[in-house]
Amino acid sequence: METIHTADRVFVTWDAEPVENGAVAVVQDRVAAVGAYEELRERFPRARVRTWPGGALGPARVHEGPLPDAPSPRERVHAVLKLGAAVVMERYADTPELRAAADRNGVAVVPGKPSKPAVVESAWADLAVFDEAGECVATVCAGRLVHRRK
């Protein structure tokens, strides 16, 4: 199933110039295209559309510190997703339970800091949407919506 995620501004990297009224097309777990919403809607006419008004859409973040405290490994991983992150450092996911919870949610566990996350064709579809105040509105891991603020 194809999905188009659209927001007021789409960033390929968080320090790049935004694509105004941009969109990201996702097919399965990969980014299929990035560009103007109208263009992607023409290319993917049957895609489900998720709209994030008033927000900025870009690559999901890398959580570089300890996972937030929570009663269970699942809730600790979900707390990271609520921050807009889809990658955690291996040294902080240091138990089998935390690694399993990360895996179930599509959160990557990496040994060292990965290169700068980017939203480019064929890349893993890890995305995050932030509102004007910088709060995470939604997180997408491997093409799946795994967190949405109500």
Predicted pLDDT at 40? 97
Predicted pLDDT at 30? 97
47 shares its domain with 67? no
6 shares its domain with 32? yes
pLDDT single digits (tens) 72-103: 999 999 999 999 999 999 999 999 999 999 99
Please state the domain count of the chain.
2
pTM tops 0.75? yes
- Alpha-carbon distances, residue 48 vs 42, 57, 97, 127 (angstroms): 13, 17, 34, 16
Could you tell me the residue range of the domain that residue 51 belongs to?
2-60+117-148
103 shares its domain with 135? no
- Mean pLDDT score of the chain: 94
121 shares its domain with 56? yes
Predicted pLDDT at 71? 96
User: Interhelix angle for 96-104 vs 73-81, to 10°?
Assistant: 50
Q: How confident is the model at residue 1 (pLDDT cuts 50, 70, 90)?
A: confident
Residue 113 has pLDDT above 90, yes or no: no
121 shares its domain with 77? no
We report the CATH number of the domain holding residue 17 as 2.30.40.10
Residue 29 has pLDDT above 90, yes or no: yes
10 shares its domain with 42? yes
10 shares its domain with 51? yes
